[in-house]
Amino acid sequence: MSELPGVRQIATEVREGRTTAVAQLDACLSRIEAGDKSVNGFMEVQSEAARTQAEQVDAIIARGDDPGPLAGVPIAIKDNIVMQGRKTTCGSRILENYISPFESTATERLVKAGAVLVGTTRCDEFAMGSSTEHCAHGLVRNPWNHEHVPGGSSGGSAAVVAQGMVPAALGSDTGGSIRQPAAYCGITGLKPSYGRVSRWGLVAFGSSLDCIGPLTRDVADSAAIMNVIAGPDSHDSTSVDTPAPDYLQNLDERKPLVVGLPRQHLHERNHPAVVAALDEAKARLEAQGATFIDVDLKMTDHGIATYYVVATAEASSNLARFDGIRYGRRAEQRAGESLEDLYARSRGEGFGPEVRRRIMLGTYVLSAGYYDAYYKKALQARRVIHDEYKQVFQTCDVLLGPTTAEPAFKIGSIADPLTMYLSDRYTVGANIAGIPAISIPAGLAEVEGASMPIGLQLQAPFLGEQALLQAANQLQQSSDHHLASP
Amino acid sequence: MSDTTPSLTIEDTRHVAHLARLNLSEEELKSCQHDLTAILDHVATLGDLDLTDVEPMAHPGDQTNRLDPDDVQPSFKVEQVLNIAPATEGDFIAVPKVLGDTGGSA
């Protein structure tokens, strides 16, 4: 599978006329045909819509016009980012037949840049989960070992890139949903700063936490996608107003980095191979002149509690719109039934157990009498976490630590919701604070006789994507970890 | 916080399900009660923090409300909206009776 070229290579070859967008699409569709039977990452392969886009790219080239920086690059889209005229289910029964009447800003920009959107990828229902086991339309398998989860919630996006079906996919990250599956599948996943990529057309989960970002095989491809999707958008009033820089321009710049190591992320429960991978990465950075300092993120232990109050409160409000009236699935109407009963039955039947659980939690923490004890307290803790990061970044350029404590777990092995939530321990902080973070492949662990990937996370200050990508690129280029494939 | 927070009863759970407009079976209510209790126990660790005088933070970044120019933009056509509605009647989305004996909750 490793013969699949990357984002920049495909774009260059298509732009130079050495291949066509249609030929690239056909090759991609054959790889999906061969690879997805066992992985099950695609929710829907939309070959007709994709072919139309590919033909347009080839027509633009035939006219002698500029097809854009991502000309002919096949890209998969997480099933919670809408594309006009295509199905978006969010991994839920309640949207099982929803055809979007509008286009997300991120996908609109990809298409304008010449990309070919080949289909949608499975995710945990409404992006709520860490394993893609909570998808109403079937689970996804980790390409490295089919008995293990690909991570989540962008598990489908991570799996189809890792399996070599597409060179890139979009995901969304509310508490780690791009970085954790990227780590579990051995690829590169970037969660940008809050607001750096427009959320227009991303089905909302936690509006103050949600970010769209790329999953790719290396950092430079991640930068190439960011160059297209990042930037202000009048459709999203929370998008950052300043134009996005060219992330590829100075990507190879080498700086003597000051790297912060959060003590609280060097937990004794980290898998020995994760500890070894971090030590090995440090040695490589040190050889390139980096210096290390130990820093404290003392709020790490309170991150999950803060996150699950804020995220579920926002989710309970956002998901109120799914009531079976204007769009989505409506329960079978009963004679004489009130509108309210119809809402409750449509929602009870349409949402799966994890989404119901989070709506319940969010409703509870916002309800009269509990607002101050839970929601307000979590927002105050959020401020403390935000300020703690700000202070730490006075002393270092980037933070380095594991993305997850362990490699991907076995399908069905975590039944307890709280245990599943705690697996996001190292990733939620970036969402709470709004800062950018990236997970890159850092080696393999032996798990029950099979090799499973490990990811390391780098974090940078708000809007520090350029420094983050430079540091990640520097680290990535000093080893072959990102070239490993299942 | 753990001092002031009572454990979640089945009646509380039923009340929350009503607020969330979620029709849940008795079994689902019980499993929700169990799961929420465990999660709220963990959340109660926020009570260990001294948060006196800390300004709540609802949103990252320092953005304030943004004003856009008051220009008319194209919107969906009626048929686009009706196409994705689960039940329609003419140019309308059909719903159960809202007013009268069986409708609404007044």
Q: Which of residues 71-100 of B touch A (CB under 8 A)?
A: 76, 80-81, 83-87, 93, 95-98
Q: Report CB contact under 8 Å: B32, A379.
A: no
Q: Does A317 qualify as catalytic in the annotation?
A: no
Chain B positions in Cβ-Cβ contact with residue A373 (cut-off 8 Å): 1, 4-5
Pick from B1, B60, B103: CB nearest A434: B60
Identify the pLDDT of residue A1: 40
Q: Is A263 on the interface with B (CB under 8 A)?
A: no
Q: Report CB contact under 8 Å: B85, A359.
A: no
Identify the pLDDT of residue A396: 98
Q: Report CB contact under 8 Å: A367, B51.
A: no
For an interface test with B, the pick among A96, A314, A365, A380 (most B C-beta atoms closer than 10 Å) comes out as A380
Q: Which of residues 308-367 of A touch B (CB under 8 A)?
A: 308-309, 316, 320, 323-330, 333, 336-345, 347-349, 351, 353, 356-357, 359-361, 363-365, 367
User: Mind telling me how many Å the CA of A458 is from chain B's nearest CA?
Assistant: 19
Q: Which fold has domain A7-257+397-483?
A: Amidase signature (AS) enzymes (3.90.1300)
Q: Report CB contact under 8 Å: B46, A323.
A: no
Q: Which is catalytic among the residues A130, A177, A222, A423?
A: A177
Counting beta carbons within 10 angstroms of the beta carbon of residue A368, is it exposed (0 to 12), middle (13 to 18) or buried (19 or more)?
Answer: exposed
Nearest Cα residue in chain A from B58: A379
Identify the pLDDT of residue A2: 43
Whether residue B103 has pLDDT greater than 60: no
Q: Report CB contact under 8 Å: B46, A309.
A: yes
Domain boundaries along the sequence of chain A: 7-257+397-483, 300-382
Residue B100: pLDDT band (50, 70, 90) is: low
Cα–Cα distances in angstroms (integers) from residue B28 to residues A230, A315, A357, B25, in the given order: 42, 20, 10, 5
Residue listed under structure tokens 């890159």: A440
d(CA B101, CA A291): 74
Instruction: Show the tokens assigned to A312.
Output: 């579920």
Architecture of domain B1-51: Orthogonal Bundle (1.10)
Q: Is B43 on the interface with A (CB under 8 A)?
A: yes
Q: Report CB contact under 8 Å: B86, A324.
A: yes
Across residues B72-82, what is the average pLDDT? 92
Q: Which of residues 231-250 of A touch B (CB under 8 A)?
A: 234, 237-238, 240-241
Identify the pLDDT of residue B1: 40
d(CA A293, CA A2): 37
Q: Report CB contact under 8 Å: B56, A101.
A: no
**Helices A353-366 and B26-43, axial angle in degrees (round to 10):** 60
Q: Which is catalytic among the residues A153, A222, A239, A485?
A: A153
Is residue A386 within 8 A of residue A286, CB to CB? The reply is no
Mean pLDDT by 10 residues, chain A (486 residues): 81 98 98 97 98 98 98 98 98 97 98 98 98 97 97 98 98 98 98 98 97 98 98 94 96 94 92 97 96 97 96 98 96 90 97 97 94 95 98 98 97 92 94 98 92 98 98 97 94
d(CA A361, CA A374): 10
Q: Report CB contact under 8 Å: A380, B51.
A: yes
Higher pLDDT: B65 or A59? It is A59
Identify the pLDDT of residue B96: 87
Residue B101: pLDDT band (50, 70, 90) is: low
Q: Is B27 on the interface with A (CB under 8 A)?
A: no
For an interface test with B, the pick among A191, A357, A377, A424 (most B C-beta atoms closer than 10 Å) comes out as A377
Pick from A328, A343, A379: CB nearest B21: A343
Higher pLDDT: B96 or A480? It is A480
Nearest Cα residue in chain B from A85: B80
Q: Does A177 qualify as catalytic in the annotation?
A: yes
Q: Report CB contact under 8 Å: A327, B86.
A: yes
ipTM score assigned to the predicted complex: 0.92
Nearest Cα residue in chain B from A343: B21
Q: Report CB contact under 8 Å: B39, A329.
A: no
User: Mind telling me how many Å the CA of A364 is from chain B's nearest CA?
Assistant: 6
Chain A positions in Cβ-Cβ contact with residue B59 (cut-off 8 Å): 208, 238
Domain boundaries along the sequence of chain B: 1-51
Pick from B23, B80, B97: CB nearest A101: B80
Q: Does A153 qualify as catalytic in the annotation?
A: yes
pTM given for the model:
0.96
Chain A positions in Cβ-Cβ contact with residue B16 (cut-off 8 Å): 360, 363-364, 367
Backbone angles phi, psi at A214, to 5 degrees: -90, 145
Identify the pLDDT of residue B6: 55
Chain A positions in Cβ-Cβ contact with residue B2 (cut-off 8 Å): none
Residue listed under structure tokens 């035939």: A62
Identify the pLDDT of residue A268: 78
Higher pLDDT: B99 or B75? It is B75
Backbone angles phi, psi at A358, to 5 degrees: -75, -35
